[in-house]
Amino acid sequence: MAQKTVLGRGIGALLPSAEQDKKLILCGIEELTPNKHQPRKVFETDKLRDLVASIKEKGVIQPLLSRRVSGGYELIAGERRWRAAQMAGLKEVPVILRDVRDTEMLELALIENIQRADLNPIEEAEGYQKLIDEFDYTQEELSIRVGKERSTISNHLRLLKLPEPVKKDISEGLVTTGHAKAILGLESPQMQIEAHTAVVKRGLSVRETESLVKRLAKGEPVKKAKGHSADIEKVQDTLKRSLGTKVTISGSDRKGKIMIEYYSSDELNRLIDILKGG
């Protein structure tokens, strides 16, 4: 069994103490390499724009966390800031050096991302599963270390049982965890995919998805949804390009709804400004 490291109170394990402050350095961008245990897999360029703009104006306010490795430094946490700093044209970034073993790297990165809400639900679930598989953590221990309810961790781990197409759309924000929880009520992967397809094509709410799952469980067929007209498809694509985020139009030419997605408070404010004509 791998030796477990007690990290204390979540994100507090990442914050510099007075002694760690002495290890604050300016590090060349090219000297840093990503954390091989990074639980975050998706770094969409569009989603980094606000952070890039902030860094251009104010610099990197919060230092990155890193450790010394052969030939340079390896990131522990702060890969989004590192990527955004590169896009902003910075040559150096502030870095706090930590003496961290391999067994601590994933836990530190996972805690930092979870408490910053930087992971999508599938990335978060995969991070939990990796801690369980590689370091023998139980769900109870994970609950303490990442500051989450055990039921939250358990529900995230259940998402990994879904078929790949469903997990992909959860990662991309096309399907919510509420939809996924309803779809998990179906035992057959084929029926799960059938329900997922109907959810995406029709833009079903969570409650509508729950009703659909009940019908499918009884063996009732799924009614085929009408496809979008060419005009609706064109409008949807135009909105995606104009707003710089995912936009989904569901319904018909006469009635329906438009769903605009955002992934941070800064992005929400940016979208509000656009919609208000700012």
Q: Which residues participate in catalysis according to the annotation?
A: 79
Query: Widest CA span of the chain, in angstroms?
Result: 66
Contact 9, 79 (CB under 8 A): no
User: What is the Cα–Cα distance from 58 to 77, expressed in whole angstroms?
Assistant: 20
3-state helix/strand/coil string of 129-158: HHHHHHHCCCHHHHHHHHCCCHHHHHHHHH
Extract the tokens encoding 202: 């029709």
User: What is the Cα–Cα distance from 201 to 182, expressed in whole angstroms?
Assistant: 16
Contact 48, 87 (CB under 8 A): yes
